[in-house]
Amino acid sequence: MALERIVVKETPFQEHLDDKLLQNWAQGQEIQLDSLNSPLMEVDLSPHGYGKVIIQDESTNPTGTIKDHMALAIRRWYRIFAQTNIKKEYKPNTKVPRISILTAGNAGKALAHAFKDIMPIKLLVDKEISPALLRELCQLDADIYQADLSQPLTSEQIKKLTNNQCGIELTGRHSRFYLTHASMILGLKPARLYVPYGSGQIFDNYLDFQVMDEEGTVTQRKQPASICGAEPEQQNSIADKLTANCKPFAVYGPQKIQELQKQKVTGDFTGVYRVNEENILSAWQKMNELCPAEPSGAAGLALYMQHYDQGLIHPTEKIVVVNTGKGK
């Protein structure tokens, strides 16, 4: 398959590593992965015909979404890399490890913010992206490329499309950038955790944490939490951050999830569920009465409502819903 792309924006940047660049990466205060303020709200939805839930709000983050956890973790890695390698002698023409990522918008915004004045991030977006969102992304300190994302791409193809053959591609890695977040949210010991399902990376990291917590010190091995991922039924859903045609890098499919359920690593209801548009719209409205959210960010609440209407939730179950926020 021939790789075709449009170079929307590309900013000149130095090609090779040097101490001046590394010193720039290393400067500033120590980066703490638990420094983001993601408040918890206990909400009684009984006036709307539902139960009590705890909503974890990611809209207060620097760029307004959960993606800031990922961006902070990567920025911290670059800072440690720089501190370790300053004053070392490099092989001639050692390339700068630039970052490429496939994004629907929010991940790109978060990374561009975290790497502001450090280096431009390379963002690959769909050729069908809305003109308004493309204009927003073009305001970032980032290189922007468009391509047909309706078919799966490998990491190498993504790097080639973004002129970054010697760099780092994040989308295709089984990365664990949300483990600190997962530790906090699963530490609440919910019976069920409802979260929007886009690329699958956040959902996967919750399951990663359950697998890694072998002693069950956080995740309750006897009654592990069910991780419920929400994606829209409709391809043209208003929850447009969750409608990618291909999610080739998701790690935990139905078979792997069943194996973990048999081992009592994750709950019986863990899985990815499709949510109807009516519930997404209703949940979006309800979430915005509490905290800023875009339709995609409220999809977890929509799935909770759908399960409640179907009689699948016991009134005494502890429910946590993640609002993944609203991009600024």
Specify the range with the lowest mean pLDDT, choosing from 21-30, 135-144, 288-297, 305-314. Answer: 21-30
The strand pair at 192-196 and 226-232 is best described as: parallel
- Strand runs labelled E in the chain: 5-9, 40-44, 52-57, 99-102, 121-126, 142-147, 168-169, 192-196, 226-232, 271-275, 319-323
Specify the range with the lowest mean pLDDT, choosing from 33-42, 78-87, 160-169. Answer: 33-42
How large is the average pLDDT for residues 244-252? 75
**Closest by CA position to 195, among listed 272, 289, 259:** 272
DSSP letter for each residue of 162-195: TT-TTSEE-TTS---TTHHHHHHHHTT--SEEEE
Residues 6+ apart with CB under 8 A from 139: none
How large is the average pLDDT for residues 83-96? 78
What are the pLDDT digits (tens) for 165-197?
999 998 876 778 898 899 999 999 999 999 999
Please report, for the chain, how many H helices and E strands are present, in that order. Answer: 10, 11
* Domain coordinates in residue numbering, the chain: 5-28+68-169, 40-66+178-323
Domain 5-28+68-169 in CATH 3.40.50.2300? The answer is no
Q: What is the pLDDT of residue 37?
A: 75
Same topology, domains 5-28+68-169 and 40-66+178-323? Answer is yes
DSSP secondary structure code for residue 122 in this structure:
E
Q: How many CB atoms lie within 10 A of CB 257?
A: 18
DSSP letter for each residue of 2-49: ---EEEEE------B--HHHHHHHH-SSPPPTT-S---EEEEE-GGGT
H or E stretch at 84:
helix 67-85
Q: What is the pLDDT of residue 30?
A: 67
Q: What is the pLDDT of residue 176?
A: 85
Specify the range with the lowest mean pLDDT, choosing from 23-37, 112-126, 205-219. Answer: 23-37
How large is the average pLDDT for residues 303-318? 95
Record the tokens describing residue 174, joined without a space: 């089984």
Q: What is the pLDDT of residue 175?
A: 79
Specify the range with the lowest mean pLDDT, choosing from 8-17, 80-89, 137-146, 212-221. Answer: 212-221
The larger pLDDT score, comparing residue 232 to residue 149, is at: 232
Record the tokens describing residue 211, joined without a space: 């697998």
Q: What is the pLDDT of residue 90?
A: 67
**Closest by CA position to 266, among listed 322, 313, 227, 217:** 227
Q: What is the pLDDT of residue 221?
A: 60
* Strands, sheet with 168-169, edge to edge from the N-terminal-most edge strand: 5-9, 142-147, 121-126, 99-102, 168-169
What are the backbone dihedrals phi and psi of residue 303, each rounded to the nearest 5 degrees, phi first?
A: -70, -40
The CATH class, in words, for 40-66+178-323 is alpha beta
Q: Are 287 and 298 in contact (CB under 8 A)?
A: yes
Q: What is the pLDDT of residue 214?
A: 66
pTM for this predicted structure: 0.89
Q: What is the pLDDT of residue 198?
A: 87
What is the overall mean pLDDT for the chain?
90
